[in-house]
Chains A and B, each alone.
Chain A
């Protein structure tokens, strides 16, 4: 335990014990263990996934030694899957390791249920036709699929999951939800215990800014028929009213109050992403609804019936200049309110569960609590199928051509690829003539090679996205990620 905690210390600080537990429960299948696949899996093995299985039919050749660190010259002529498997096992002995010496395509044809036992399949360097079938198979079996491909100085990463729900999306800029504009009775009562015009100078400069703002806002409302300041003139007046309470210029709590005054008239709003989650058709609950959607339905009920359209309070307050015990008491007022909100949502969850004849305790309070804490940042991602994305026929032709290695003269390839590109683009209504010839020659020159530094980047991104989807933390890529090492550019396309 201590060893495990030490080894994973730096990453536990990102995704926590529960994130690590999710990784340790994950069973990952890697299709093809060239440099891109090996790099991706290496990063996941270091992170401590539960187990992995490598599917690759090939043998280690001299060329592999030049771009794949997970095979060595001693492995020449041996099974590549076995060699990579053995070396990965060395990196982290607590990870279960298996390999299958078969081609992924053949396995997909002969034994599609093979994939059902995995949490995640990572398909690398696979042609689109097989990928489309794999995507279908994985969706049927509710297995997550991640596609990665390095191609010369370019590469792509694509997630294929029917629906991926994220509770802990961990946004870059979490907002403070202080309800300064709408204090609930307990907060009001707490605020009333303070005299923001206290004569004692030290007392005066140690009242937390939230209390100052609630007081001034309540006074404002009383003087303005219950309205909050609106428009720049009133806002300036409001700030002046705060400023007027200062007793000297270096009161840090007043500086904070002025800097945060906007929170009174601009409380956090409900994002369009959250709106679309709340309005999603899946929120109509039936007996096969997932826990996530039951929680969303309960949240919606809470907002409509219990909270005047507001989200549950998350209970967190920012640092404030204050006496420690004032701060702790204020914090408790917020935390108590958050707990009460959780209880209200919990009651809704129970009533929904009863309605669909499920055990009313089957969603734990700790899950509900975590959901409420993150309610503002819920995300639902749905990935269209690869079949949809690749419906124009010409796409197959491009892939086939690209996958052919060195069998034709380069110039011929350039011409053929150009023709195919133009056809494809015209088919889907784009002016095909606009494609750059340089780009096409560049792609032919790549000849399907996997360059290690590109594989390192693409494998790194693939494993990073894998961790996001396995831990259900952070928002993963929403479309096809394309990396161009020539120009150092990257983009995410939602095709």
Chain B
């Protein structure tokens, strides 16, 4: 039904799709059926069972395969005459540079995380290619249009910072289930199965003890000849018994707090050794070896299990993880689609909660918290994909006056289910598309260049391969084509305090941060400050700017440079999971990290903003 002009534009358009998940599957299908013939598709993910309730191009037998490739094949089977190029790759990898982006008439995002969205935004700005951006959570969804110079870019409005927790709350004084989940995921899981160097808090409390008797058995290491079951028993007693007892010795800490109860296996499950005997001899490989709960006969993941059952799941999940993934131990990263990892983390979180007098939750709820899981259904994705294509057509026919950002609401409000909004003009104080400088408050004699690079440049500005300069002096740079001595120099700079650098950074210094791949650059004005509140500003640095609203940079209990997903946590209170922080951002591993309409509260903020900013926009209501 498109006009001749539209049809011509559709036929010759070259489209880049980033993401082949929930929105991506719908989008690829809708593009092809609308007449698009040349589509490039990037996605680094592989297919999971939990995708199958909406990502309809995938079948059960595709689990584990590349989303981009399977999506391409599925569509080609039906429409062999279109050209689809699939890349099973990270959009941040260097092959997708500005020149690559310049090949396309429009870029369509169906992504699941803020970091990648920012990256694509910068490449689109640099390449001058229009971007249609999208996201969904449950019944909520949105499509926004970003055209350089005409509309705001994706980063013109600050995105809510993920909720994070002070480290001591996690390691010593949890008071909510979520604190225990973060502990289980970031400390216990990582210490036992992942990179030990990134999570040694579990050992730290006993340094004195272990140095006193050197040849002692290392508490969290499997000994030669030791069965995994007895190792698991030891881990339990050490982490939930010994460590708690060690913490209780610091009596000051518990003066006004309820003391945690040390838990030992012989109290909770006195007969556990006999109980587990049989299964150990079988090498813990029953048919259902992918799940501790099914081996144990626990059926309902939505039920809150007893402390005994949680202890059993804890032990059994360690056993099966060792039996089935022994090679990967030491490199595992928590994955919400890995049943065993979820079981281990849930059980560990519950046992810790029990010890601290915090209510235990069901595996289902804990999985939602640990994985920052966002609701996701087929219906919203189908609607959003249709809207993306309609916006893409307007861009291709230069019909910019009709471009709209559209919000799909959960409840029809003011008689609207779809709320169209005219795109905003670029924000003149945006640090990305208007290159407005930012300020960084930092103690220049106590912070190292590494802190600035990891905590600010990478984590807050999403710059992946930064070049940091003061005037024409390069302080830091990475890349394959660097000379050896330069690499050495830059690496040694990382561990210097700011004032000790070859060209010292002091109050008033202006640093420039660039990323050649993103063609991004911005200036950081340094302001020296002596003191920071350890609890509230544990980075020891505060990034500000006209662009940013008041941010509360709390400590992130996270691996530097690690996936952003890990930072976001949904609060849970006494059995009911709910989002507490209004500005909370959630991430769906599949496709949706939510943007402005991420949470209900957020959506309302957006609507309020709109009411306040009548001058900047008109809500195009149906005149009737």
Interface stretch of the complex, out of B50-58, B438-446, B449-457 = B50-58
Q: Which of B205-213, B305-313, B357-365, B498-506 makes up part of the contact surface?
A: B357-365
Q: Which of B260-287 contact A (CB under 8 A)?
A: none
Question: B34: which of A6, A14, A451 is its contact (CB, 8 Å)?
Answer: A451
Residue of A nearest to B601 (CB): A173
Please indicate the chain A residues that have their CB under 8 angstroms from the CB of B50 in the complex: 6-7, 9-10
Contact A8/B620 with A43-B382, A485-B390 known, Cβ cut-off 8 Å = no
Assess whether B411 is in contact with A316, with CB atoms less than 8 Å apart.
no
Q: For the complex, what is the distance from the CA of A65 to the CA of B176, rounded to whole Å?
A: 54
A456 to B387, CA, bound (A): 9
Q: Which residues of B contact A9 (CB under 8 A)?
A: 50, 53, 367, 373
Number of residues on chain A facing chain B (CB within 8 A): 83
Given the complex of chains A and B, what is the CA–CA distance between A464 and B140 in angstroms? Answer: 11
Restricting to A454-495, which residues have a CB under 8 Å from any CB of B?
454-457, 459-461, 463-464, 467, 474-475, 477-478, 481, 483-493
List of B residues within 8 angstroms of A47 by Cβ: 53, 377-379
CB–CB A460/B418 < 8 A: no
Task: Find out whether the CB atom of B379 lies under 8 angstroms from the CB atom of A200.
Answer: no
Which of A67-75, A180-188, A398-406 lies on the face that meets chain B? A67-75
Inter-subunit contact B383/A492 (CB<8 Å):
no
Give the distance in Å from the alpha carbon of A478 to the alpha carbon of B417 in the complex: 11
- Which B residues, 55 to 112, have Cβ-Cβ distances below 8 Å to chain A? 56, 59, 77-79
Inter-chain contact B374/A10, CB cutoff 8 Å = yes
**B251 CB → nearest A CB, Å:** 14
Q: Name B413's closest neighbour in chain A (CB-CB).
A: A172
Chain A CB count within 10 A is highest, among B337, B386, B406, for B386
A206 with B382: in contact, given A171-B411, A492-B415 (CB under 8 Å)? no
Asked if A323 meets B257 with Cβ closer than 8 Å, knowing A66-B33, A453-B386, A491-B624, the reply is yes
Query: Which segment, of A113-121, A235-243, A324-332, A362-370, faces chain B?
Result: A324-332
Hey, which chain B residues are within 8 Å of A318, CB to CB? 573
| B410 interface contact, C-beta 8 A | yes
User: Inside 8 A of B588's CB, which chain A residues have their CB?
Assistant: 10
Query: At the interface, yes or no: A82 with Cβ under 8 Å from chain B?
Result: no
Q: In this assembly, does B139 line the interface, its C-beta being within 8 Å of a C-beta of chain A?
A: yes
A interface secondary structure, majority: helix
**B294 pairs with A2, CB closer than 8 A:** yes
B580 with A452: CB separation less than 8 A: no
- Closest chain B residue to A448, Cβ basis: B1
CB of B425 closer than 8 Å to a CB of A = no
Residue in chain B with minimal CB distance to A88: B56
One digit per residue, 1 when the CB lies within 8 angstroms of any chain B CB and 0 when it does not, for chain A 341-357 equals 00000000000000000
- The interface bits of chain B over 105-139 (1 if a CB of A lies within 8 angstroms of the residue's CB, else 0) are 00000000000000000000000000000000011
A152 at the interface (CB under 8 A from B): yes
* A6 and B49 contact, Cβ closer than 8 Å, known pairs A456-B383, A457-B387, A463-B379: yes
Knowing A10-B588, A325-B258, A452-B34 are in contact, say whether A319-B382 is a contact too (CB < 8 A). Answer: no
B256 adjacent to A491 (CB under 8 Å) = no
In the complex, are the beta carbons of B375 and A69 less than 8 A apart?
no
B164 interface hit (Cβ, 8 Å):
no
Closest Cβ of chain B to A9, distance in Å, is 5
Instruction: Select which of B29, B358, B600, B620 is within 8 A of A172 by beta carbon.
Output: B600
- In the bound complex, residues from chain B placing their C-beta under 8 Å from that of A467 are 377, 379
Query: Bound state CA distance, A278 and B426, in angstroms?
Result: 50
CB-CB < 8 A to B546: which residues of A?
none
For the complex, give the distance between the alpha carbons of A474 and B139 in Å.
Answer: 10
**Cβ A319 vs Cβ B411 within 8 A:** no
CB distance from B569 to the nearest CB of A (A): 13
Residue contact B380 to A478, C-beta cutoff 8 Å: no
Is B604 an interface residue when CB atoms closer than 8 A count as contact? yes
Q: Quick one: which of B1, B26, B356, B603 contacts A153, CB cutoff 8 A?
A: B1
CB atoms of A319 and B580 under 8 A apart:
yes
Q: Is B622 an interface residue (CB 8 A)?
A: yes
Q: Is the CB of B604 within 8 A of A463?
A: no
* Contact yes or no, A491 B382, CB < 8 A: no
**Are A456 and B416 within 8 A (Cβ)?**
no
Contacting pair A491 B357 (CB below 8 A): no
Q: Could you tell me if A456 and B1 are in contact, using CB atoms closer than 8 angstroms?
A: no
Q: With A2-B291, A91-B56 in contact, is A325–B375 under 8 Å at CB? A: no
Q: Is B382 touching A13 in the complex (CB atoms < 8 A)? A: no
Partner of B385, one of A12, A316, A456: A456
Chain A residues within 8 Å of B382, by CB: 39, 42-43, 456-457, 459-460, 463
The answer to whether residues A488 and B420 also contact, given A11-B53, A200-B256, A319-B580 and a CB cut-off of 8 A, is yes
A429-466: CB near B (< 8 Å → 1, else 0) gives: 00000000000000001110101111111011101100
Contacts known (A7-B53, A319-B573, A456-B26); A449 close to B604, Cβ less than 8 A: no
Indicate if B2 sits at the interface (CB-CB under 8 A): yes
In the complex formed, the residue of B with least CB distance to A12 is B364
Q: Does B168 contact A (CB under 8 A)?
A: no
A279 interface residue, CB < 8 Å from B? no
* Bound Cα distance A172, B382 (Å): 22
B52–A7 CB distance below 8 A: yes
With a cutoff of 8 Å between Cβ atoms, the chain B residues found around residue A92 in the complex are 52
The reply to whether the CB of B46 lies closer than 8 angstroms to some CB of chain A is no
- The answer to whether A474 and B49 touch across the interface, beta carbons within 8 angstroms, is no
Task: List 9 tightest A-B contacts by C-beta distance, closest first.
Answer: A460-B382, A456-B386, A460-B383, A202-B256, A457-B386, A452-B33, A464-B379, A10-B376, A488-B404
Chain B residues with CB under 8 Å of chain A are 1-2, 26, 29-30, 32-35, 49-50, 52-54, 56, 59, 77-79, 138-139, 175-176, 255-258, 291, 294, 299, 301-302, 337, 339, 356-359, 364, 367-368, 373-387, 389-390, 402, 404, 406, 410-413, 415-418, 420, 571, 573-574, 576, 580, 588, 590, 600, 603-604, 620-622, 624
Can you show 11 pairs from A to B with CB atoms below 8 A apart?
A: A9-B373, A11-B376, A12-B364, A13-B375, A170-B410, A325-B357, A453-B33, A475-B412, A488-B387, A488-B406, A490-B418
A-B contact sample (11 more), CB < 8 A, given A47-B377, A453-B33, A492-B416: A7-B53, A11-B376, A173-B604, A200-B256, A206-B256, A324-B357, A464-B139, A464-B380, A481-B412, A487-B420, A488-B418
Task: Give A residues with C-beta under 8 Å from B.
Answer: 1-3, 5-14, 17, 35, 39, 42-43, 46-48, 65-69, 72-73, 90-92, 152-153, 170-173, 200, 202-203, 206, 316, 318-319, 323-325, 327-328, 331, 445-447, 449, 451-457, 459-461, 463-464, 467, 474-475, 477-478, 481, 483-493
